[in-house]
Structure 1
Amino acid sequence: MIVPGSDTQELAAALSAALDEPLAAVEYDRFADGERLVQVPETDDRAVVVASTVSDSAHVELLQLQDAARQQAEEVVTVLPYMGYARQDAAFEDGQPVSARAIARAVATGTDRVLTVNPHETAVCDFFDVPATPVDAAGRLAEPLPSLSDPLFLSPDAGAIGLAETVSDAYGDGEVDYFEKTRTSDTEVEIEPSDATTTGRDIVLVDDIVATGSTMSTAVAQLTAPARVFVTCVHPMLAANARTKLERAGVDAVYGTDTIERPVSAVSVAPAIAEHL
């Protein structure tokens, strides 16, 4: 049975359909002091908890869902479409926590195994004390793209070029490149596509997450006379005024998945997750 988190109901429904498994009628509530309460009326022998931890409160809800499911199910599988704190995979200064490790250990206490979709670094899966598998859903981003003319798929840096290659392969056409950073002074950095020309071409910018929109907006500004510009990402966090930044930068459309449910969530990662269940 699929057990949805309150922030991940669309994806949970899509996964229920993909697996032909029932969807649990979870109830969500809060006490007067703000504390969360969930109720999972029934589950099957296997409970698949599907919850993106987009906030601290969502982390608490996930632990509650796991505990409620465990009371009835023989096996609990936790699907983290988006794992909050995953980018804090190292201590930046002495005395600071490895937050991704702390979160992973907490999540692992209530589950038998974990799936997480396109974590920023797959190494975070090693932090879980139960088997944890990264799910690559980047190829799903090709589906909502329109017909493209001489497409160029660009990642914001060399480290993310694998994502751009995955989307290009899924689309079935196009060149792949990445933005190269050149430091011109102590305070200024120039970025531009390392090799490919952008003039007159449809450009597809690809990344795992768009959070503030600053990186993508800066990248768009470096393109020379593109025909159209599309931004794609697995996790469309789009915090604060990120969507406005992209619009002002001249982006024609933004496409994300439903790991984080936003108006730009144009495609579901349910088929990619279902392959591992």
Structure 2
Amino acid sequence: MKTILFSLPGNEELTALMAKKMNAEIGKSTLRKFPDGESYTCILSDVKDKCVVLVCTLHKPDEKLLPLYFLSHTAKSLGAMCTCLVAPYLAYMRQDKAFHEGEGVTSRFFGKLISGFADSITTVDPHLHRISSLGEVYHIPNKVIHAANAISEWIKENIENPVLIGPDSESEQWVSEVAKKAGAPFTVLQKVRHGDRNVEVSVPDVEKYKNATPILVDDIISTAHTMIETVKHLKKAGMKPPVCVGIHAVFSGNAYRDLLDSGIEKIVTCNTIPHPSNAIDLSDIMAKEVKKLMQHI
């Protein structure tokens, strides 16, 4: 089956990388707004009997969803065999239960919506907290790609004498996995409570790591509050300025500038959301996994 990739606005670079690795063509389309604000959709390439791959990271999803919905249905109406969504960042995963009376469980509503117009979905490290697998929410063939290997490789190739730092005990499992793959040590900040309002945060075995480069790793950098607080603790402990590594560069508000100004060495993210900090390319594994997933449609 021939494959054709369409980039939703802002996803052109990732689409080009994936198309090259999939030996696939890049489709042409026109997506614009009418004067009244409604969406116009036109596919200019031949999609008949082809598998259409829609590349659209779902950061700030509300403005992207209708163009994506219309593009998928337009492709089907023109004879496409299937439409496969590649959403490196997947939104609406945090509201996975009703925390207060009357709330909508939007992760399930969003999953039902996308499952209604896409034949498969591929994403990178979604926020699966109370959900054990993506299949609980998305009732179509799906693949979750993990960025830990790529992050570990980047650390091995770019950082001398690294030590990975977890901001709290909850991060230990994630940080330890990346550290193991990178062949680097790791430690987790410890909180010692001296009273209701007196909490001391320390770096265990800090003397051992004084000459190492601290690496702070997180899946989503949104407000960057946790990383900024961790940087303060590392400074107080006399450690070197850290390198901050994230999978998804959400960076709400002034978070990116605030983190840069906190006294770090640099910020590095994966290319799941287009951002100046992108330095870890996941297009190779995305291309491979999308091709595998097509076999199950």
Assess same fold via TM > 0.5: yes
Output aligned runs, 1:176-215, within 5 Å: 176-181=186-191, 191-193=201-203, 195-197=204-206, 198-215=209-226
Give the superposed CA RMSD: 2.3
Is 1:231 matched with 2:241?
no
* Aligned counterpart, 1:78: 85
Counterpart amino acid of residue 123 in structure 1: S
The corresponding residue for 2:179 is 168
On the 8 A contact 1:201/1:228 being kept in 2, the answer is: no
Pairs within 5 Å for 1:1-277: 1-41=4-44, 42-43=46-47, 45-55=50-60, 56-71=62-77, 72-121=79-128, 123=132, 125=134, 126-145=136-155, 147-170=158-181, 172-181=182-191, 191-193=201-203, 195-197=204-206, 198-223=209-234, 224-276=237-289, 277=291
The unaligned stretches of length 5 or more in structure 2 are 292-297
Instruction: Report sequence identity in percent.
Output: 24
The structural deviation recorded for 1:181 is 4.9
Q: Distance in 2 between matches of 1:157 and 1:211?
A: 17
Partner Cα distance (1:196, 1:272) in 2: 37
C-alpha separation in 2, matches of 1:151 and 1:24: 43
Offset, 1:183:
5.7
Gap change, CA 1:212 and 1:9, over 3 Å in 2: same
TM-superposed deviation, 1:188:
7.0
Query: What is the TM-score when the length of structure 1 is the normalising length?
Result: 0.89
The TM-score with structure 2 as length reference comes to 0.83
Contact map agreement 2:22 2:288 (CA 8 A) in 1: no
C-alpha spacing 1:141/1:39, structure 2 compared with 1 (3 Å) = farther
d(CA) in 2 for partners of 1:36, 1:151 = 49
Higher mean displacement: 247-256 or 177-186: 177-186
The alignment partner of 1:96 has SS state of coil
Q: 1:222 to 1:137 in 2, by over 3 A?
A: same
| Letter of the 1:62 counterpart | L
Mapped to 2, the partners of 1:23 and 1:188 lie a distance apart of 58
| Structure 1 alignment gaps of length 5 or more | none
Which is greater in Rg? 2
CA–CA separation in structure 1 for the residues paired with 2:212 and 2:232: 15
Between the aligned partners of 1:149 and 1:230, the Cα distance in structure 2 is 12
Deviations 1:94-126 (A, max 9, x none): 111111111111000012221111101163611
Letter of the 2:142 counterpart:
A
The range that moved more, 3-12 or 148-157, is 148-157
The residue type equivalent to 1:275 in the other structure is: K
Distance verdict in 2 for CA 1:93–1:262, change over 3 Å = same
Q: CA deviation at 1:154?
A: 2.2
Paired residues, number: 275
Aligned residue identity for 2:253: A
In structure 2, C-alpha distance between the alignment counterparts of 1:85 and 1:235, rounded to whole Å: 14
Note the C-alpha offset of 1:148.
2.7
Tell me the equivalent position of 2:295.
none
Superposed displacement of residue 127, structure 1: 0.5
Compared CA separation, residues 214 and 2, structure 1 to 2 (3 A):
same
1:222 match: secondary structure: helix
Note closer, same or farther for the CA distance 1:173–1:73 as it changes in structure 2 (3 Å cut). Answer: same
